[in-house]
Amino acid sequence: MKKIRIYGIIAVIIAAVFFALRLSDSSDSSEARRRMTPLVKVEKPGRELVKTQLQFNGDALAIRQAGIFSKVAGNLERIYADMGSRVYAGQLLATIDSTELYQQYQQTNATYQNNRISYERTMQLIEKGLSSKQELDNAEAAMKVALAGFEAAATRLSYARIVAPFTGIITKRFLDPGALVTANNATLFTLMNLDRVKIIVNVSEKDVPSVYRVNTAQATFDALPKKIFYGKVTRFSDALDLTTRTMAVQIEIENADHVIKPGMFATVQMTVAEKKNAVTVPTNALLKDNDGQYVFILNGDKAKQIRIKAGTELAERTEIISGLTGDEYVIVVGQQYVKDESAVNVQN
């Protein structure tokens, strides 16, 4: 009887141990499955203003620039402006030795005066009937030829005074007083108007239709960090360069304080479109395969693959044109470890 009781107790103990082991195995298996489920982080798409921008590089140029030449030959007699001088339209910059030019002026003036007097005498003789109409015509023609020669000599004499064609800054002076200047082949000065600067950028063929909608642009310069300058789009070349398939576009920027110097390297941005309340997600949430781009959203406790069409890429976020309404929870961390309809473990 005792043996039967002992056997019964042993059987109960064995059964209890077996049940406990099975329960432990089941718990370990459940824990293992939980640990194998990908841990992900989700967030709702944001809504923000999205700007579609084009970016170009270019160089700052003076709004007006000219090389100042001498139109007559001679020794450079005197210089009245130097590098860095601000000059005004019509201001005297230099003079050329005008000795020979003045002599020519005097000679042609004398010839003109003599022919004018001869013409007037012929007129008096015509009134008295002592001269013919042919003689009067000859005298008038000679006077006009002499007058033209005199005016040409006066013009050449005026060219000995080199004046500024517009208001600006002398950025270069090439010759010193005493240098022999020959007509039209020796630059005396470089003159620039810096009150405004222009930047000419080359727009690619595919972006040409967009830039016609642009009125303003912003520019930054490597030499002027942390400063943004705003300018106007003023001119379009309306023709593409056949070698580069680009069209030149000119932007003008006010530069009253002359802080922008010609030759500075510029980065220009043009906003060609703006979209308010656009749906955006972190750029790293987007995945791609042979069929295009997609994201995973949370569907209960599972991941669901959604095909999307991406738009403008911002600094760290990307616009979603289609595929998302903005109310979903998008998997933004761990999405590379999940599959469509697979279970996920959401991080709190």
Contacts of 288 (CB under 8 A, 6+ apart): 294
Return the top range by mean pLDDT from 39-48, 142-151, 330-339: 142-151
Say whether pTM exceeds 0.95. no
**Range of 290's domain?**
39-50+276-346
From the number of C-beta atoms within 10 Å of its C-beta (0-12, 13-18, 19+), residue 160 rates as buried
* pLDDT one-digit tens code per residue, 302-325: 999 999 998 888 878 898 999 998
Helix/strand/coil for 304:
strand
- Domain-embedded: residue 18: no
Give me the number of domains the chain comprises. 3
- Pair 198, 254 in one domain: yes
Contact 181, 175 (CB under 8 A): yes
CATH number at residue 287: 2.40.420.20
- Domain-embedded: residue 265: yes
The percent of residues above 70 in pLDDT, for the chain, comes to 89
Average pLDDT in the 41-62 region? 90
